[in-house]
Chains A and B, each alone.
Chain A
């Protein structure tokens, strides 16, 4: 039986999502092992001092800490996990509208939001690299603070476990997996 590998279970969203996987018969593991179908990283780290506005003294340390936690550590975990993935080989990460160049209305949170924007491009290039080997990707905005955690986890579970199809002339194809999307907890696509 395939399992879901969670890089961390130290936040409420991860716990709620892991419970849904278990409830639906997909074992949750936190150590790399064979038979992992889902790689799930729920990291969303905002460093202290990242609430400063321009002119209030942006923190150098916050910038590097946010990058380390939101990008470097999860990506290194993914690299370690690549060969353990099987089945749909689905790679799932979290981001948010605040890191959308088109949609962001943020004026604070430079460190966290910019790190997540970097992650968008890293995952796109990673998807381009791995798609031909059967890996599929999901990027999800849990709308923290706007949508209850349980509701966001339920939306994420559906998004992470469902395949995406474009109906072809005779049968469904998986072409839509070629495009990495960011979807939010209400099912809306967030532009990059």
Chain B
């Protein structure tokens, strides 16, 4: 790499929380960042743009293949390649309508929407951006997963909606790994911890135990550091611990 060359990343789900903090960390490390914007009531990315010239907020709804193509075209026109993809966008929460033993029928439309956003969007995004990623000599792919993706360790009796999407995501990442590792792509699968929710004014909520800025710092450390064994796909948490998945 030319020492003056600026690396380019795309971060999805960057309006707040982990995604926003990863964007800021990468900018602080001198990266150019295309930041996926979805939530209309959050303007933190625009505020960041006042201090960092190398941030480019882009509209990106992870359920939309059209949005993905538009973002690909924007990056292609402005830079011509993509070094790092941070696939972080996810939907969670909502009314608890996923208890199979309930007399209330499962909300299968919401289950499908969660799968589309949290799981299937990841390979769709890689598929769409692959021409740009292949032009880079860096070729690193980062995915935000969760410890509740582990089938073997699952002990819960509810909350299937989010958990099943992260299991499916891990399988999708395995398949992407199978396909692209031989081309020199490297992978980071990350468990960010139970993070405090970030409000539109950057205040952190009461729930959660991890400050997203702290988790993002560790995420970016894992992104920037090469590993001894890149041929092994591993799930690593915000404290650097490898998890069963």
Write the residues of chain A forming the contact surface with B, with a CB cutoff of 8 angstroms: 53-58, 60, 63-64, 67-68, 71-72, 75-76, 78-79, 82, 99-101, 104-107, 109-111, 113-115, 117-122, 124-126, 128-130, 133, 180, 191-192
Task: Check if B2 is an interface residue, CB within 8 A of chain A.
Answer: no
Docked pose: A121 CA to B114 CA in angstroms? 14
B92-103 Cβ-contact flags toward A at 8 Å (1 or 0): 000000011100
Looking at chain A's contact residues, the main secondary structure is helix
Contact-size category for B: 35 or more
CB distance from A133 to the nearest CB of B (A): 8
Docked pose: A104 CA to B245 CA in angstroms? 13
Work out how many contacts link A and B, with CB atoms closer than 8 A.
141
CB distance from A87 to the nearest CB of B (A): 18
Task: Check if B168 is an interface residue, CB within 8 A of chain A.
Answer: yes
Write the residues of chain B forming the contact surface with A, with a CB cutoff of 8 angstroms: 65, 99-101, 105-106, 108, 111-112, 115-116, 119-120, 123-124, 126-127, 130-131, 149-152, 154-160, 163-165, 167-172, 174-176, 178-180, 245
CB neighbours (8 Å) of B130 from chain A are 54-55
Which of A67, A101, A119, A133 sits near B170, CB closer than 8 Å? Answer: A101
Of all chain B residues, the one with the shortest Cβ separation from A132 is B157
Of all chain A residues, the one with the shortest Cβ separation from B127 is A58
Greatest chain B CB density within 10 A among A113, A122, A128 is at A122
Of all chain A residues, the one with the shortest Cβ separation from B159 is A125
Docked pose: A117 CA to B173 CA in angstroms? 12
The answer to whether A117 and B171 touch across the interface, beta carbons within 8 angstroms, is yes
Of all chain B residues, the one with the shortest Cβ separation from A129 is B157
Looking at chain B's contact residues, the main secondary structure is helix
CB distance from B85 to the nearest CB of A (A): 12
CB distance from B69 to the nearest CB of A (A): 10
Which of B120, B160, B169 sits near A126, CB closer than 8 Å? Answer: B160
CB neighbours (8 Å) of A60 from chain B are 65, 120, 124
Docked pose: A100 CA to B174 CA in angstroms? 9
The answer to whether B176 and A54 touch across the interface, beta carbons within 8 angstroms, is yes
The 9 closest A-B pairs by CB, nearest first: A117-B171, A192-B151, A121-B167, A63-B120, A118-B168, A107-B179, A72-B108, A121-B164, A118-B164
CB neighbours (8 Å) of B99 from chain A are 129
The answer to whether A79 and B158 touch across the interface, beta carbons within 8 angstroms, is no
The answer to whether B176 and A128 touch across the interface, beta carbons within 8 angstroms, is no
Docked pose: A42 CA to B154 CA in angstroms? 24
The answer to whether A67 and B154 touch across the interface, beta carbons within 8 angstroms, is no
The answer to whether B115 and A128 touch across the interface, beta carbons within 8 angstroms, is no
The answer to whether A64 and B127 touch across the interface, beta carbons within 8 angstroms, is no
The answer to whether A128 and B127 touch across the interface, beta carbons within 8 angstroms, is no
The answer to whether B65 and A121 touch across the interface, beta carbons within 8 angstroms, is no
